[in-house]
C-alpha cells in the first residue's frame, strides 16, 4: 500500500513553520502498519496543488492532504481537487466531521488513489485523523498490522563508528532496517521491521534477537535499550536503587542539573547542585581545600574529587558528581587545553576522578559532551560496568 502525504500552505514553503502535521500523520500511519513513501508540501496556489494531486492520484493508494479547507481566500484545496478531477462537483465525496472547528473535511477517490482532505490547523487535523480518517482506513483495508521499532540510545561513539560496529546487520537480519539519528553527542540507533509478515510473536522475537545482536556489538556504549535519554536512564537507575544525587558543576555551568531536572519526578532522587565557577565558591560551598587549588589548580582530578565529595556531604546524598574543565573559547593553556575536563564521582563505595580531552572548538558543544560524560560515568557505576578505584 503506497501512502503519500500532501501538506498545503504558504506558511510551510515560506519557512514560517515546520510541518508538524506531516510528522503526526506519519506516526499514525506507522501505527496502522503503513509506511509513508513520500511527503510533499506546496504553497496555497490552485495550479500547484492541482498538479501535485494529479501526480499523486496515479502513484499512491492513499493520500492524506492537510490545509486549505477553511473560509479565507488562501483556502484553495477543494477547488484544486475539482480541477485535478476535471469535475465541478464531486458527488462521491464523503464528509469527515471537524470536531474541533468549523470547516469539514472529505474523502474521495481519484484514479487509483483514495484522498483524505483535512484542515491544516494541527488540533483540528489531529482530531479528524483520529476520529474519522483512521477508522475509515482500518475498515477499508482491514488494517491491524504494525511496524515494529526498537530504539537504542548510544553515547561514546561517533555515527560512523556505530555504523561500522553494526556491519553485517543486514546480512544477519535481511527483513530489518537500521536507522541512525544524531542528537549530539548521543546517537539513536533504530531497528525497524517495516512489515510484519508472520505472527506478531515471531516478529517480536526477531526484533529481540536483532536488538541483542546490536547491543552486543555496541558493547557498553548503549545507554538505554528502550530509547531513554541518558538523564532518564540515570534517574531510572537511581530510583530503582533508592539512591540520591548531588552535583557540583564548574565548566558545565548548570547543564547537568538542568538535564537531570528535565526528567519528571527527578525530585525523588536529585537533592542539590552547586554551580561553582569561582575558586571562592569551590572552597566556601564545597569545602574544596585551598591547598588543592593552589597546588593543582581548579582543573585537576584532585579538585574534581573534592568537589564531588564536598557536594555529596553538603547535600547528604548517596552520590556526588562533579565537573571542572575548560569549555572555551578562552581559558585554555598547553597543559590544560580547551576541551579538557576532570570528572569526579563520590559515593559510599566509590571515590574516583577521571580526565577526558575532547577536541571540539565550541563552548556549547563542550558543555554538552562534558555533561553527558559525567552522567555516563555515574550510569556505568550504577550498572556495575565501572570498576571502583
Per-position b or e across 286-310, b if 16+ CB within 10 A of its CB: bebeeebbeeeebbbbbbbbbbbbb
- We find the least distance from the C-beta atom of residue 388 to its own copies, in angstroms, to be 27
Q: Using CB under 8 A, which of the segments 25-33, 85-93, 196-204, 300-308 binds its own copies?
A: 25-33
The DSSP bridge pattern shows strands 350-357 and 340-347 to be antiparallel
The interface with its own copies within residues 97-116 (CB under 8 A) comprises 102
**Spatial distance between the Cα atoms of 126 and 114, rounded to a whole number of angstroms:** 19
State the first-to-last Cα distance of the chain, in angstroms, to the nearest integer: 57
**Cβ 54 to its own copies shortest distance, Å:** 13
Per CB under 8 A, the segment of 26-34, 77-85, 86-94, 302-310 that binds its own copies is 26-34
Query: How near is the Cβ of 389 to its own copies at its closest, in Å?
Result: 28
Check residue 130 and report its DSSP letter.
I
Asked if 275 and 329 count as a contact pair (C-beta separation under 8 A), the reply is: no
Helix axes 230-241, 363-382, angle to 10 degrees: 30
Binding mask 342-371 for its own copies (x = CB under 8 A): ---------------------xx--x----
CB 35 within 8 A of CB 12: no
Cis before residue 326, ω within 30 degrees of 0?
no
Examine residue 207 and tell whether it contacts its own copies (CB under 8 A).
no
Site string for its own copies, 304-343 (x = CB under 8 A): ----------xxx-----------xxxx------------
Q: Which stretch binds its own copies (CB under 8 A): 7-15, 82-90, 210-218, 287-295?
A: 7-15
Binding residue (CB under 8 A) for its own copies from 42, 53, 128, 238: 42
265 touching its own copies, by CB under 8 A:
yes
Contact between 253 and its own copies per CB under 8 A: yes
- 227 dihedral zone (left: phi>0; alpha: psi -120 to 50; beta): left
Interaction of residue 297 with its own copies, rule CB under 8 A: no
Window 76 to 95, contacts with its own copies (CB under 8 A): none
Q: Between residues 84 and 352, which has the closer beta carbon with respect to its own copies?
A: 84
Could you say whether residue 213 binds its own copies (CB under 8 A)? no
Q: Which residues are within 8 A (CB) of 21 and not within 5 positions of it... i.e. 6 or more apart?
A: 7, 66, 67, 120, 122, 125
Amino acid at each position: 500500500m503506497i501512502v503519500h502525504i500532501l501538506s498545503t500552505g504558504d506558511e510551510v514553503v515560506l519557512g514560517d513553520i515546520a510541518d508538524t502535521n506531516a510528522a503526526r500523520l506519519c506516526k499514525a500511519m506507522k501505527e496502522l502498519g503503513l509506511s509513508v513513501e513520500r511527503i510533499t508540501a506546496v504553497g496555497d496556489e490552485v495550479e500547484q496543488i492541482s498538479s501535485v494531486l494529479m501526480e499523486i492520484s496515479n502513484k499512491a493508494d492513499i493520500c492524506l492532504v492537510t490545509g486549505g479547507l477553511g473560509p479565507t481566500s488562501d483556502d484553495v484545496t477543494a477547488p484544486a481537487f475539482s480541477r485535478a478531477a476535471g469535475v465541478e462537483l464531486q458527488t462521491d465525496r464523503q464528509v469527515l466531521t471537524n470536531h474541533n472547528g468549523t470547516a469539514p473535511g472529505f474523502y474521495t477517490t481519484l484514479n487509483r488513489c483514495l484522498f483524505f482532505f483535512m484542515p491544516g490547523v494541527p488540533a483540528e487535523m489531529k482530531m479528524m485523523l483520529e476520529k474519522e480518517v483512521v477508522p475509515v482506513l482500518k475498515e477499508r483495508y482491514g488494517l491491524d498490522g504494525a511496524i515494529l521499532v526498537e530504539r537504542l540510545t548510544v553515547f561514546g561513539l561517533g555515527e560512523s563508528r556505530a555504523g561500522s560496529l553494526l556491519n553485517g546487520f543486514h546480512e544477519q537480519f535481511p527483513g530489518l532496517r537500521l536507522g541512525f539519528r544524531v542528537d549530539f553527542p548521543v546517537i539513536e540507533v533504530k531497528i525497524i521491521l517495516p512489515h510484519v509478515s508472520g505472527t506478531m510473536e515471531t516478529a517480536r522475537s526477531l526484533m529481540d534477537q536483532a536488538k541483542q545482536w546490536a547491543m552486543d556489538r555496541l558493547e557498553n556504549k548503549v545507554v538505554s535499550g528502550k530509547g531513554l535519554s541518558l538523564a532518564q536512564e540515570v534517574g531510572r537507575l537511581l530510583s530503582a536503587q533508592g539512591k540520591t544525587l548531588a552535583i557540583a558543576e564548574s565548566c558545565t555551568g548548570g547543564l547537568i542539573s538542568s538535564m537531570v531536572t528535565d526528567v519528571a519526578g527527578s525530585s525523588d532522587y536529585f537533592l542539590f547542585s552547586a554551580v561553582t565557577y569561582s575558586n571562592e565558591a569551590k572552597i566556601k560551598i564545597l569545602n574544596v581545600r585551598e591547598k588543592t587549588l593552589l597546588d593543582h589548580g581548579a582543573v585537576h582530578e584532585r579538585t574534581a574529587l573534592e568537589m564531588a565529595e564536598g557536594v555529596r556531604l553538603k547535600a547528604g546524598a548517596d552520590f556526588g558528581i562533579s565537573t571542572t574543565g575548560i569549555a572555551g573559547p578562552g581559558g585554555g593553556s598547553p597543559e590544560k587545553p580547551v576541551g579538557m575536563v576532570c570528572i569526579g564521582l563520590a559515593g559510599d563505595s566509590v571515590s574516583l576522578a577521571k580526565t577526558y580531552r575532547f577536541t571540539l572548538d565550541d563552548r556549547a558543544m563542550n558543555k554538552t559532551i562534558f555533561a553527558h560524560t559525567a552522567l555516563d560515568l555515574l550510569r556505568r557505576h550504577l550498572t556495575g560496568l565501572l570498576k571502583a578505584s
